Structures are given as C-alpha cells and as structure tokens.
Amino acid sequence: MPLHEMLHAAATGTVHVEDGWGQGRATYGGLVAGMLVAAARKPVADAPLRSVTVSFVAPVTPGDADVETTVLRAGSRATQVQAVLRQEGQAAAVALASYGAPRESALVVPVRDSLPQLPAPESVEAMPHVPGMTPDFFAHVDLRVTEGGWPFSGSATADLSGWMRFREAPPTFGEAEMTALVDAWPPTVLQMLTEPRPSSTLTWTLELIEDLSALAPAPDTWWAYRVTTDHSADGYARTHAHVWHPDGTLVAISRQTVAVFG
C-alpha cells in the first residue's frame, strides 16, 4: 500500500501500517504523523492547518491500527482536533492539530529568514538507501544534503541544509504529505557522531505558514530545508527548521525534541 493510500485509510479510522517504512524498531515517525494529520482533517471543513504537535508515545509497528479523532473545540475561526493512533488498544501516538480560518488583522510581520542559496538538487548526491544499514523508509524519500553532513560522519556542525521530496511522487501534495515528508531528516546532532547511536523523537511540532491547498504545489516539488540545533545536552537535542517552496515562499516551521541514547 503506497503512502497516499495509507493516509486515505487513516482518515477513515482504520489503517494497515505497511512494512518497509521502518525506522529502527518503529515505523517512521513522519508516516505516523501524516496519518494523524489525515485523520484530524476529516471533521474540519475548509480552515487551513496552522499547527500540529505530535507526541510519539510508543513504537508503531507494521500491522493494523485505529485512529480516533475528537473535536475539542470548534469556534467561529479556530478548531482544535485531537487524533490518537492505537495498536492493540494502546495509544502509540497522539496529535493536537490546530486549524484557523483567515481573519482580518492590522499586524503584519514579514518573514525574516529567506531561502538560502543552495546548489540545484540534481547536482547533489542523494542520501543513500542501503538495506540493512539505513532506515527502511529511506527507500521512499529523496534527501539531498547541501550543507552539513550525513549521520555519523563526524561533522563539526549540528546544522544542516538540503532539498527533499518523495522518490515516488504522490498523486497530490497537501498537509498530510508535507507532514510525512518533513520528518524524514535524521536528527542533526547525529552527524556529529562517528559511530551509530540510537535516537528517538519525543515531540514534534510542525507549523504551516502557507495554505498548501491554495499553494497547490506539484507533487514532485523539491522543497528546501534548513535546520538549526538550538541546544543539546543530557541526551536531548532541540532543533528548529524552515521549509521553503523553491520560489522562495516560506511554507513551514518545524520544531523537534530528540532523545539520543549512548
């Protein structure tokens, strides 16, 4: 079952999580978050997704899963929806999605961070998918590092820039697809290590600056990505990242807390 079919199934409340999307002992977190976003959208009509925060409670494994959504509040402009993915009756991931219709405002603060000057994605070597060595889900994403390094490469920096898209473009590209794609990048601090160490995302917040339904990006769009590590100590790293459309439009801001073991 390809990505778009799993996202569609999650919106119905029942989904089979396919094998081949592994990330260590768990299913790739971006896929899990994408399914939660797809499900959370169902009870909301037209308001754009403004922010989603995901807590990865337990490893999601291949197999059947149930996704339950609850509208916590539906106001005149803003709607808050909770989505919970369960396997064998136990919560494995929880998302709080916030939707907000546009409203009149005299406050306008222009975007301060502009699209960095990056080499063309076609000129950059793709992060490889090596069965048995790299995460299984790398078979589905195309990541091109332009600044920084690959995991466990002994890099001197904990920051990273690059391009990303799916290897096989989905039929359409919206909120759930963006959610599933942005989380594909390995935690930036891992590139400073010289040998493999396990890691796990605790919480992740994705804020959408643009309404993707209005932007209507091509499914095979190359998205520019730049992530900065704000702090890392005591086995926890905190990062924030910006995502741009290639025309220079800031589309999303990603914030993440990661546990690094060993």
Q: What is the CATH number of the domain that holds 256?
A: 2.40.160.210
Number of domains composing the chain: 1
Contact 40, 68 (CB under 8 A): no
Residue 107: inside a domain, yes or no?
no
Q: How many CB atoms lie within 10 A of CB 204?
A: 23
Residue 108: inside a domain, yes or no?
no
In which domain, by residue range, is 124 found? 3-101+120-260
pLDDT of residue 222: 98
Residue corresponding to tokens 């409340």: 13
Residue 185: inside a domain, yes or no?
yes
Residue 32: inside a domain, yes or no?
yes
Residue 31: inside a domain, yes or no?
yes
Residue 112: inside a domain, yes or no?
no
Exposure letters 32-61 (e unless 16+ CB within 10 A, then b): bbbbbbbbbbeebeebbbbbbbbebeebbe
What's the Cα-to-Cα distance from 197 to each of 23, 129, 152, 187, rounded to whole Å? 13, 18, 8, 11
- Rounded to the nearest 10 degrees, how much is the dihedral formed by the CA atoms of 247, 248, 251, 254? 130
Residue 115: inside a domain, yes or no?
no
In terms of C-beta density within 10 A (0-12 exposed, 13-18 middle, 19 or more buried), how is residue 224 classed? buried
8-state DSSP, 126? B
In the chain, the amino acid numbered 27 is T
pLDDT of residue 262: 64
Residue 7: inside a domain, yes or no?
yes
pLDDT tens for the chain, residues 1 to 262: 899 999 999 999 999 999 999 998 899 999 999 999 999 999 998 899 999 999 999 999 999 999 999 999 999 899 999 999 999 999 999 999 999 998 888 888 888 888 999 999 999 999 999 988 889 999 999 999 999 998 999 999 999 999 999 999 999 999 999 999 999 999 999 999 998 888 889 899 999 999 999 999 999 999 999 999 999 999 999 999 999 999 999 999 999 999 988 6
Exposure letters 5-30 (e unless 16+ CB within 10 A, then b): ebbebbbeeebebeeebbbeebbbbb
